[in-house]
Structure 1
Amino acid sequence: MNVLLVGATGFVGRHLLRALSGAGHHIIATSRTRQPLRLPGVEWRQLDLDELATVPDHFAFPESIDLLINAAGVLSVDEQQSNLTQDLGSRALFDLAKSAGVRVLHISALGAGVRSDVHFLTSKAAADDYLIALGLPAVVLRPSLVVGPGGASSAWLARMSALPVIPLLDRKALLQPLHVDDLVSAILALMRRWPAEPMVLPVVGTEVMTLAQLIDQMRMSQGWSGAWFIKIPDALALFGASLGDRFGWRALNGQTLRMAHRDSMADPEVLESVCGYRCAGLRDRLKQWPDPAQSTQLALRPLMLATLVLIWLGTAFVSLWPGFEWGLRILSEGGLTGPFAQIAVVAGALCDGLLGLGMLMGRWRRRVLQLQVCLMTAYTLIITFVLPHYWFDPYASVAKNLVLIVATLWLLRTEPRR
């Protein structure tokens, strides 16, 4: 089958692309930018749904396509962005499919059309309704929480699963999570048994559970015992959500807070009655993911970053104020006194402060980490040759530089390339 897969570089899209390629289909996969990934039977083209929403001829619909799969989506705090990508862009794509007389499978979200106060879901629902009204041979899939390797929310869940004490926004809301492999398998089953009429289908796991129970299952799959869960106080959660709306946090914002407090369930037998597929038990799917080493890294990395930021900023503060005279005494031991010593202390403090602030900026973090390694190495070498007696400090103030260098190298090695 000739398939046009839109959103092929997203979480679901990547898994679906490999499955379609492995099943022998010919796929024209789209993304906003050029892609180096090469798979058998896959041809890449550029498509930006935001641009398609305003410029209908931005994308030339390929010929001889049998099925359009729209796996594109965006979880943004910007309501205008959500509407542009998920509603208007999708509508323009569906219009092209109608002109070409092509079947459409659109991946939406469970809760679309029900929750009017979550623009991620309302924009999905608007596109769903538009597609069904076109009268095309169409299926709208509304999956529950999808977990698996490569997902942004899945990475957060894996990170939390490594913590002994886990803070949650809600401990009572019920959901039916499913593995991404089940969503992909459901799509392949629908391609084999396409329904006679346009319809909206929920795709949910077979087990009803809370988020805490899901995380506990993830912990057990990694060989860990159950965790201790605490509910974040409402006032603190609201404050965090307001900050998330302000700074564009995807994990915590007004939308995610509202969704966290509500049930997300449906009947799994609806999908089975249409295409014959039923999702597997989640416990059976959690054998290869999450990986305990990766989960631990995800959990420790932000803690390590925060610790180093505090160390560098703290060093800057101490050097400029309570420890200023102490810094001058140390320099005098090495033979540097007077105004030049004062300039050296201030310059070193400002340098430490800039490095601490630089770690907060993802765009510059890799270069900042490299500079930190160089600076700590230089500090250590200078002290070794000029003030070697500091190596015998019972508090190991110089020796601890070695630990910080190793920690910084680990952060540098695990820093994503941008």
Structure 2
Amino acid sequence: MRILLVGAGGFIGRHLHVALSAAGHQVLATARQPDSGASGDWCRLDLAELARDPRAFAWPAGIELVINAAGLLSTDRTQLDEVQNLGACALFELAAARGARVLQISALGAEDGPDTDFLATKAAAERHLLSLGIAAVVLRPSLVLGPGAASSRWLLRLSPWPWTPLLDNRARLQPLHIDDLCAAVLALLQRWPEQPCSLALVGPEALTQGQIVDRLRAAQGRGAGRYSTLPRPLAALGAWLGERAGWRALNCQTLRLARRDNLAAAEPLAEACGYRCLPLTARLHDWPQAADSAGLIVPPLLLALLVLVWLGTALACLGPGFAWSLRILAEAGIDGWPARIAVVSGALLDGALGLGLLWRRWRRHALQAQIALMLGYTALITWLLPHYWFDPFQGVGKNLVLLGASLWLLWLQPSGERTRA
């Protein structure tokens, strides 16, 4: 079968691409920015552009099935609406006009009066697809885990800690492995439902967040962890900050989703195509490894420490360390009002750079500025106050460690836009 796979650059799309190709299907994969070195046939498709102009995409010949695995991790309602609703609807209409079937990868919960922008835009696209009267299936997976998933990265970051605060540890989910999602799609291609329908794709176990993390801990050879729920005011404050800072793991949407059950029956899918997901533990063999979670812990931990260092430096210079800072400048021959201006300005700059690390969109620039500032500070100290290199506490020498950490975090920062699958 010749398949147009939309969103093949994302987590679900990448795995589907491999599974469909291995099953012998001819896959034409799409992405906003296709990797020229990727295997298989690729073409460019941006659903946001398609939403604005349906003629922006030249429909390939011979497409029998469209699988839409595109999605956007964002708190921006406009972007979500363009990609997950308007762009998806335009794609469905193109498929309908050319007689192609459609498989829409949606999300469990989109059918239940969604109160988040992510689910609301998914639900709007679902309704439009099912109203077209074409051969269509909406597949609504629960939490999908596997290597490369954003949700998996977050859970893996929690898994090494023996005690972990969670947004909620009462709500239940039915997680599944990405291999089960791919297997379910292949089963649907073998037994396509006679009527347009929506089908939940869920694992056989209803688990809390803590129980899911424990499954991941067990796969890494760790025992059960201990979990607590963040106080509601603290969680609400974190979600408010995350909403404004563009955090994907903590914002108003993720807080709402974390506090409610996300459950469905597995029987309709089994009746439609004969497939049932395996328990999560049955899939956790080669992934995750202890090294996976350890590697994911280090960047946010270093980031948090850098934030504390820069904000702490700012507060110290403006508070109890103000006189000390003036004495250091006096050693360099700077005193009076120029010294006071220098201390206050430097402290405010340190504070601004520390806050800049909290905002995803400013983080790369903040790290670049911090590296330049540390190099500048080190050069000035070496020139004007070289004896500080011989401080027994090595205050200047420790800057080299911070410099290395900042360079590494800068290297890890994505240079493009927000992730869109």
The TM-score bracket by the shorter chain reads 0.7 to 0.9
Which residue pairs with 1:43 in the alignment?
42
Deviation at 1:340, TM superposition (A): 6.8
Deviation at 1:354, TM superposition (A): 5.1
CA contact (8 A) 1:35 1:44 kept: no
Which residue pairs with 2:278 in the alignment?
280
Identity %: 55
SS at match of 1:90: helix
CA distance in 1, matches of 2:241, 2:375: 37
Deviation at 1:221, TM superposition (A): 1.3
Distance 1:30 1:350, change over 3 A: same
CA distance in 2, matches of 1:211, 1:250: 17
Which residue pairs with 2:8 in the alignment?
8
CA contact (8 A) 1:212 1:229 kept: yes
> Normalising to structure 2: TM-score of the pair?
0.86
CA distance in 2, matches of 1:192, 1:228: 44
Q: List per-residue Cα deviations over 1:123-144 (Å, max 9, x = no partner).
A: 3233223323322222211111
CA contact (8 A) 1:70 1:105 kept: yes
CA distance in 2, matches of 1:122, 1:378: 49
Find the partner of 1:58 among 56, 61, 69.
56
More off after superposition, 27-36 vs 187-196: 27-36
More off after superposition, 188-197 vs 8-17: 188-197
Which residue pairs with 2:419 in the alignment?
none
Deviation at 1:225, TM superposition (A): 2.2
Find the partner of 2:86 among 85, 88, 93.
88
Distance 1:397 1:145, change over 3 A: same
Distance 1:412 1:258, change over 3 A: closer
CA distance in 1, matches of 2:164, 2:76: 28
Deviation at 1:345, TM superposition (A): 4.9
Find the partner of 1:201 among 199, 202, 207.
199
SS at match of 2:164: strand
Deviation at 1:286, TM superposition (A): 2.2
Q: Which AA in structure 2 matches 1:27?
A: V
Q: Compute the RMSD of aligned alpha carbons.
A: 3.0
Find the partner of 1:211 among 205, 209, 212.
209
CA distance in 2, matches of 1:357, 1:258: 26
Deviation at 1:385, TM superposition (A): 7.5
CA distance in 2, matches of 1:231, 1:164: 14
Which residue pairs with 1:149 in the alignment?
147
SS at match of 1:157: helix
SS at match of 2:233: helix
More off after superposition, 257-266 vs 8-17: 257-266
CA distance in 1, matches of 2:373, 2:73: 39
1:99-114 correspondence to structure 2 within 5 Å: 99-114=97-112
Deviation at 1:229, TM superposition (A): 0.8
Q: List per-residue Cα deviations over 1:77-99 (Å, max 9, x = no partner).
A: 34454444323332222221111
Which residue pairs with 1:236 in the alignment?
234
Q: Which AA in structure 1 matches 2:64?
A: D
Q: List per-residue Cα deviations over 1:159-201 (Å, max 9, x = no partner).
A: 1223332222221212110011210121122212223332222
Find the partner of 1:120 among 118, 121, 132.
118
Which residue pairs with 2:20 in the alignment?
20
Q: List per-residue Cα deviations over 1:104-162 (Å, max 9, x = no partner).
A: 11111112221342343333233223323322222211111111122222221111223
SS at match of 1:174: coil
Which residue pairs with 1:67 in the alignment?
65
Q: Which AA in structure 2 matches 1:143?
A: P
CA distance in 1, matches of 2:327, 2:149: 53
CA contact (8 A) 1:163 1:299 kept: no
Distance 1:370 1:75, change over 3 A: closer
Distance 1:309 1:237, change over 3 A: closer
Q: List per-residue Cα deviations over 1:236-266 (Å, max 9, x = no partner).
A: 3333334444454433333322322222222
CA contact (8 A) 2:34 2:42 kept: no
1:217-366 correspondence to structure 2 within 5 Å: 217-320=215-318, 322-333=320-331, 345=343, 348-349=346-347, 352-353=350-351, 355-363=353-361, 365-366=363-364
CA distance in 2, matches of 1:367, 1:387: 29
CA contact (8 A) 1:144 1:178 kept: yes
CA contact (8 A) 2:159 2:217 kept: yes
CA distance in 2, matches of 1:329, 1:183: 64
Distance 1:203 1:322, change over 3 A: same
CA distance in 1, matches of 2:247, 2:379: 41
Distance 1:354 1:242, change over 3 A: closer
Deviation at 1:2, TM superposition (A): 0.7
Structure 1 regions of 5+ residues with no counterpart?
none
CA distance in 2, matches of 1:406, 1:60: 47
Which residue pairs with 2:128 in the alignment?
130
CA distance in 2, matches of 1:398, 1:21: 56
More off after superposition, 185-194 vs 374-383: 374-383
CA distance in 2, matches of 1:258, 1:389: 55
CA contact (8 A) 1:68 1:105 kept: yes
Number of aligned positions between the proteins: 416
Deviation at 1:7, TM superposition (A): 1.6
Structure 2 regions of 5+ residues with no counterpart?
417-421
Distance 1:315 1:269, change over 3 A: same
